[in-house]
A and B are shown apart, each in its own frame.
Chain A
Amino acid sequence: MTLLRQSGEPGTAADRARRVPGEEGIWVFVLGDMTVFALFFGTFMYSRGKNPAVFARDHAELHVALGTLNTVLLLSSSLLVVLAVQRVLAGQHAGTWRLIAAALCCGAGFVAVKAVEWTQLFAARKGVGSGEFFSYYFMFTGIHLLHVLIGLAVLSRLIVVTRRAEFTDKQARLCETGGIFWHMVDLLWVVLFALFYLVR
């Protein structure tokens, strides 16, 4: 990767085939985060196993439709980022900012839906203190929401970078790294969605 950066020229096909996508370092973050979330999911399932009746009752309070909408939003935005990164890696970065901006809008939509959902739950007097299910629900989706907000900041940065005239392999690598983070945010949500909304 440093070799590419130094020469400032696109890597050969053989280079691409061998290398790790994005910056190597981002995988430390991604794998670390996934481990922590795996721990989250494990503790949730453990508590649920000890108290199935209460979890089933509180689970019924969630709106599956809003959760589904959010899943669709994040999956679409991940797809848009895939298309954008593909174009960037193919050397056609011009105009990709529109794809990333569309992904950003989907992400912002996710935040808006989450805000509506939480407002409804708060209105129904459900909060972090309303039993085990809701403390897990608000903590885990809240930590995930923080990831989404960081992801939105990353996407905004990518829009700025891809609109610049100067675009080297370093910027392309940055796009790929940002994309990896956004896919992780998406993947974690898919598991959260299954865990809180679908599992009965």
Chain B
Amino acid sequence: MTPGIQKTMAISGAAFVLLLFPAIIMTGLLPPISPMRTANEIAVFWSTNTGLKRVGLVLLLAASGLQAPFGALLAIRIRQMDAGRHSPLAYMQLVGTGLAVVAIIMPTFAFAAASYRPERDPQITQALNDLGWLPFVMNWPAATIQCLAIGFAIFGAVHEIWPRWLGYFNVWCGFIFAAGGLVVLFKDGVFAWNGLLAFWMVAVFFGLWFLIMAWQLWVSVAAPEGNSAASAAPETARSQSQQ
């Protein structure tokens, strides 16, 4: 794999965030509509600015796929850290990435259905709105699986490709992302799908995680793939940490 392709795959993680958040804003999902709104209010929301909202959803769908190359490169880094052994953590990472793509796609379709027929019964639109928002915020395993796979790969690394603080950062992010998992219990307050802790805190660190991992993937592109060269990488890492 050429460094150019690797760099493109690394950048796709940052591109995902840079496309995701504008798409969310275009669709009108930021700030999130309160779960306390009535069916009529939600129907009015989905039947105004429909053009912009639908284009936003198209972009949201496009963004979701950018996680695939990014996640695949993460899995390769896990294999490099685990050099020469079976790497179950790399497969765990790939499963997580697959789920993460679905985690964006699925709510996007529900939102698309909500905006598709403004003339229909508001109760149905409310149900579709719920069907979009609940998985959108609640679906934490996809991200947490990846964080834990990367974190434990760094802790147990044979070849030190990434610094250990990045492992702790990943494990910590894994817990943060889980904060959205309880939104089904709340319609109001900080743990509801529009709440400070379930939505805003997770959204901020979700974005940051992609940017930080894209940066770390980018700077580790030089880390060679072959065995002979791979053994040289830890040496450089060590000499850096001694300074």
Contacts and interface: CB of A to CB of B under 8 A. Distances in A.
A24 B165 contact: yes
- Give the interface size bracket for A toward B: 20 to 34
A94 interface: no
A135 B191 contact: yes
A135 B198 CA distance: 13
B2 interface: no
A3 B243 CA distance: 10
B197 A39 contact: yes
B100 to A, nearest CB: 21
A25 B154 CA distance: 11
A43 B197 contact: yes
B228 interface: no
Contact of B165 (A25, A39, A47, A135): A25
Interface in B229-243: 238, 241-242
A25 B185 contact: no
Contacts of B196: 39, 43
A12 B168 CA distance: 27
B215 to A, nearest CB: 15
A95 interface: no
Given A6-B238, A25-B165, A36-B201, A135 B172 contact: no
Nearest to B187: A129
A6 B238 CA distance: 10
Contacts of A6: 238
Interface in B183-207: 185-186, 189-191, 196-197, 201
B238 A2 contact: yes
Interface of B: 163-169, 171-172, 175-176, 182, 185-186, 189-191, 196-197, 201, 238, 241-242
6 closest A-B pairs by beta carbon, nearest first, are A25-B165, A25-B164, A25-B168, A29-B168, A28-B168, A28-B165
Given A1-B241, A2-B241, A36-B201, 18 more contacts: A2-B238, A6-B238, A25-B165, A25-B166, A25-B168, A25-B169, A28-B168, A32-B169, A32-B172, A33-B172, A33-B175, A36-B176, A39-B196, A39-B201, A43-B196, A47-B189, A128-B185, A135-B186
